[in-house]
């Protein structure tokens, strides 16, 4: 089984978009895929089609999980949102649930919440979840000013935790700037990681897109 944490340098860098695209591409290639959003904030009382966890389930066609495993109302860091609702997320319980739900999958896609070190609880982050599940990391960043620094900091945290990086995906931003187009090569040069792929901005990537096939091949 191959477990992959799709994490990012920030919120809004394309984690859900990439997770859904990869899920469809891998499933289309005949691989058994389960996509999981372990923790999601900004949710209503009833699951919405706009929620990340619901979109992931729709991408794979899986019956369960059909939504994020831990859902909170406030659109803020999960640890803070959990405090507001008088609860906390137990890492061991969450890991056991993920293992049970994904036991028969060839590939497990785990979509993080926010940036890599955004706290899921006050005593653990996505780094701890990835370590517990022995997952590799696919790092998402945006092709805009600031992404070099944010990506290198994310890679440093992953290296410190002993987590392997499957690759880095640089997504096209809604608004480009002078740095756009140069961030991917700079990140590859500075990090020494060869698996860096720039991806275009598209509503629904075609499963046969060369860049998507490249990223899927890393997994």
Catalytic residues: 37
The β-bridge partners of 136 are 4
Q: Which residues contact 101 (CB under 8 A, 6 or more apart)?
A: 34, 36, 64, 65
- DSSP SS3 for 174: coil
**Which residue reads 């990869």 in tokens?**
22
DSSP 199-216: E---SS--TT-HHHHHHH
Residue entry with tokens 């999980």:
65
Residue 90 CA to residue 199 CA, distance in Å, equals 35
Question: Nearest 10 degrees: CA dihedral of 162, 167, 169, 170?
Answer: 80
């Amino acid at each position: 089984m191959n477990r992959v944490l799709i994490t990012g340098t920030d919120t809004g860098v394309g984690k859900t978009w990439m997770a859904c695209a990869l899920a469809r591409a891998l499933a289309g290639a005949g691989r058994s895929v389960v996509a999981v959003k372990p923790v999601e904030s900004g949710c209503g009382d009833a699951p919405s089609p706009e929620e990340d966890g619901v979109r992931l389930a729709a991408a794979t066609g899986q019956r369960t999980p059909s939504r994020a495993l831990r859902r909170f109302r406030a659109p803020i860091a999960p640890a803070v949102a959990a405090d507001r609702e008088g609860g906390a997320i137990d890492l061991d319980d969450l890991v056991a649930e993920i293992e049970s739900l994904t036991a028969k999958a060839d590939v497990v896609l785990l979509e993080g919440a926010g940036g890599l070190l955004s706290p899921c609880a006050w005593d653990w982050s996505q780094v701890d979840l990835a370590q517990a599940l022995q997952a590799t990391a696919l790092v998402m960043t945006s092709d805009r000013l600031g992404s070099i620094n944010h990506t290198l900091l994310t890679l440093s945290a992953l290296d410190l935790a002993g987590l392997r990086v499957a690759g880095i995906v640089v997504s096209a931003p809604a608004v480009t700037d002078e740095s756009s187009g140069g961030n991917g090569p700079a990140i590859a040069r500075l990090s020494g990681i060869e698996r860096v792929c720039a991806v275009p901005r598209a509503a629904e990537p075609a499963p046969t897109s060369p860049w998507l096939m490249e990223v899927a091949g890393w997994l």
